Amino acid sequence: MLALASKIFSVLLAAIALSKSYVDFRGRLESFPMFVFWTVTWLLIVTFALFPSLVDILLSFSGTERAGLGTFFGMALVFLYFVVYRIYVKLERIEQNLTKTIQELALRENWVKRP
């Protein structure tokens, strides 16, 4: 029952993320490479969520049968934290630049002359 619920949850989440990504891409808010990246990423997530046994097949190719799902999801978690960290750094940089731009604009306006 829990396995089925997690599968439905993954598919729903992927559908929302993909539709959001598509709408952003159509609205030119997201570049084509990013749209492709997120589409492939979410399709992979859904595939592994629906067919978890694929993980075992993949791990058997690398000769680490004994590592199991724990290692796989551990690596996935580390990767996700890395992505979150990169997003944070980029967001911080964007916010700093936005702040600087808006402050410069405010200080360049004709504010010195009082009515």
Partner 1 sequence: MTSSRTIAVIVPAKDEAAVIRHVLLRIPRQIDGMAVISIVVDDGSSDATAAVATDCGAYVLRHLTNLGVGAATRTGLRAALTLGANIIVTMDGDGQHDPEEIERLVRCLVEGPFDVVIGSRLLTPHGMPKVRVAANLVMNAVTFVVYRKIVSDSQSGFKAFTRGAAEKLELRSRGYEICSEIVGEIYRKGLRYKSLPVKAVYTAYSQGKGQHFLNGVNLLIELFIRLLRRV
Residues near 48 by beta carbon (within 8 Å), at least 6 away in sequence: 54, 55
Nearest-approach distance from CB 115 to partner 1, in angstroms = 6
Nearest-approach distance from CB 78 to partner 1, in angstroms = 18
Instruction: List interacting residues with partner 1 (CB under 8 A).
Output: 95-96, 98-99, 102-103, 105-107, 109, 111-112, 114-115
For partner 1, the closer of residues 26 and 93 by Cβ is 93
Residues near 73 by beta carbon (within 8 Å), at least 6 away in sequence: none
C-beta of residue 84 within 8 angstroms of C-beta of residue 46: no
For partner 1, the closer of residues 1 and 112 by Cβ is 112
